[in-house]
Structure 1
């Protein structure tokens, strides 16, 4: 079954909006996964010892940008917010081209800090804003039907991006990839603006086209007052702890085994390809079934249980390898690809479906704060902790066992989040297409 078939089938059952949303997310993720290995090869050049510096800089940037984003959300309509935010990142991509042409003169560490901060902000704000918009235009019942299909469109982009990057980096080098990423993001923006205009015309009496208003610090305030958002913050921290642990271990592996930026870019590119292929398979099979038949809560719990098993595997196998299609693959790479595959292919659609059952201000401000500042605070804490444990002589086995404990806690929090008492009741999943906030 191709990735296109389920989306084409949705066009018949659900209408044009889910298909166009999936196409927009395809281009968003294509843009991101073109620059992701470009960013990660800079980490591979310096190793995990620089991750606390990188993540610390990202966390500071998120704290500074949170009130700025809150101001934009409060004062400007949805279309203008989308247009300005995405246009800013398109211009930044083009501005980075000369810097990557001079990477050897600037240095991987210096350029890495700047681009890692910017790339992390790009990922979090662009993707978070996309899903806030999706939660704004689809009802909770319809979201359970179509969000896995929209996520599948993004997963197709996340597969196409690495494939395109692998081919282009051989012929063009690293810097021109940023221009290709900017073009993909511009196409996504055009589709999102069209969807926003279509929704406002179809529902003129609703508030989707108006500014949300409220306080620019509402996202921070709601973290303490809304139980669901607290669960989301804890789940973000625990999930980030597992993902960042895997990222740090793989960064050391890449530094030890690959000596130039093209080889590291291809390694991280292949890792992304494996991750996103798994995510697409989950969305084609298990994820949509869970969302429709069992609800979003179970789609949060299952990945947490899988993470427990994966970390136990690494604790027992350490730096060992498994044979896949005749090739030896590091257990660390298997763990990283699988945990990310479940995160993107199951956890993310479930989380975004739950956000359809909270007020609009929470969808944008609260969700954005959790997925930016809270996430990067977790990155900083985890990478600093990993570096400290490494200095104390703790190896891969000890770190993996610590991760097992975190994954067990994440399982409990997932169960609480999926059935949080402050969530609005689920609306039924409709048979006919209906676009409503």
Structure 2
């Protein structure tokens, strides 16, 4: 319960600032996304060895405390910049804040789940990670609701203070969790992970599971980034001011997170417990193949749902991200309980930061190039369907990788066998 509550506040903090980040990309369109993601990728490469140093030399409580405190202070420091957004310019402020918010998301969330993989066994993870993720989905729904309520009343800049307060509450709960776990038999929070600061990069080449996860990150993120780029073009064409763009991105986040919560309540936990975490990787990839195939046939435009005209590109983003957060993420983090402790922190962090943003850079650059060549939404969706098919193949291999430790069966398990 403490873990779920902590993740609730982590995701509340992030989803308050996410539409703030989104309105900046919506102000400039997809042609600026390669610049944004390129800057993020460079920063991630620079931070990877620094994170390796911190993990190797400092105890878990120190790592959590210093990392989260840094981002809390940064949130407060950005407030004056957003007060002066019109004078600074959306593109200039967008590059800086997009880079920072992306680093915030990847490091804060990745560190949270590394900590979870450190304190739960694989059997426990399959039972409770979807419930902890559900707590995060609660925050991911609550954050957009808070933003929707406050953005028209207080504007964009003060939202960052609210986000900082939510992150501070998450940090307090995580420190309490760490202290409680350290007092239990077998708790190793006072032990530093040790090892090389480059271990995250080295293990990518030596451990098959990490290679599969890196490929899955590239392919899966490619689908999400394609949807994000198409939505950025739609937002630029249809929304002229900062408040309406922020509200539009906020509504997308709300719909995404409601879908993710529904999956965690109805399907994800059953799938992980009964059939193993591997299926939690494979099923979303197959859904993406089908969804992108439909978009390729229908092209752009809008679809009437309950009397509302909803852009197909918006539906694409909501469904792909809903499955990513509502099913893929808990499955991935459950699998990381079956690798060594150094891999949980350093290898996992490298895959979920530098590899992720490398994929963003490649996909946004490809989308911009194909747009210049005259490709429309249908052609891009067809290419995305091909990428999603590759993701399904890699997901099948990753979920049953031979270098994973034996799974710990739960009382309600049936045989968790690989698909034929």
TM-score, length of structure 2 as denominator length: 0.97
Encode CA deviations 1:286-338: one digit per residue, 9 max, x unaligned: 00000000000111100000001111111112112111221000111001100
Structure 1 residue 211, shift from structure 2 partner: 0.8
Trace 1:10-409 onto structure 2 (pairs within 5 A).
19-203=1-185, 205-409=186-390
Q: Which runs of 5+ in 1 are unaligned?
A: 1-18, 432-437
Q: Report SS of the residue matched to 1:202.
A: coil
C-alpha distance in 2 between matches for 1:313 and 1:256: 24
Shift of 1:427: 1.1
Structure-1 residue corresponding to 2:403 = 422
Q: Distance in 1 between matches of 2:78 and 2:262?
A: 34
Residues in 2 aligned to 1:333 and 1:395: alpha-carbon distance in whole angstroms: 16
The whole-number CA distance in structure 2 between the counterparts of 1:400 and 1:294 is 31
Residue 206 of structure 1: how far off its partner (Å): 4.0
- Distance in 2, matches of 1:87 and 1:206, equals 24
Find the aligned partners of 1:34 and 1:324 in 2 and give their Cα distance.
27
Shift in Å, 1:430:
5.6
Which secondary structure does the structure 2 equivalent of 1:213 belong to?
Answer: coil
Q: How many residues align?
A: 412
Q: For residues 110-160 of structure 1, what are the alpha-carbon distances to aligned partners after superposition, in whole Å with 9 as ceiling and x for unaligned? A: 000000000000000000000000000000000000000000000000000
SS at match of 2:183: helix
* 3-state SS, counterpart of residue 219 of structure 1: helix
2: CA distance between counterparts of 1:389 and 1:396?
10
**DSSP-derived class of the 1:429 partner:** coil
State the Cα RMSD in Å: 0.8
Preserved contact between residue 142 and residue 430 of structure 1 (Cα < 8 Å):
no
Distance in 1 of aligned mates of 2:266 and 2:251: 23
Residues 61, 189 of structure 2: 8 Å contact kept: no
Contact 2:339 2:405 in 1 (8 A): yes
CA deviation after TM superposition for structure 1 residue 429, in Å: 2.2
Per-residue Cα deviation, 1:405-436 (whole angstroms, up to 9, x for no partner): 000000000000000000000112268xxxxx
Query: Structure 1 stretches (4+) deviating beyond 6 angstroms?
Result: none
Answer whether contact 2:271 2:277 (CA < 8 A) is retained.
yes
Structure 1 residue 202: deviation in Å? 1.3
Q: Give 1:87 deviation, angstroms.
A: 0.1
In structure 1, how many angstroms separate the alpha carbons of the residues matched to 2:110 and 2:158?
Answer: 26
Instruction: Judge conservation of contact 2:292–2:382 (CA < 8 Å) in 1.
Output: yes
Is the contact between residue 83 and residue 157 of structure 2 (CA under 8 Å) also seen in structure 1? Answer: yes
Query: Partners in 1 of 2:316 and 2:28 — Cα distance?
Result: 22
* Equivalent position SS for 1:328: strand
Q: Give the distance between the partners of 1:197 and 1:428, measured in 2 at CA.
A: 28
| Distance in 2 between residues matched to 1:58 and 1:367, nearest whole Å | 18
**Is the partner of 1:71 in helix, strand or coil?**
helix
Structure-2 change in CA distance of 1:206 and 1:25 (3 Å): closer
Q: CA deviation at 1:208?
A: 2.9
Distance in 2 (alpha carbons) for counterparts of 1:360 and 1:208: 11
CA distance in 2, matches of 1:150, 1:407: 27
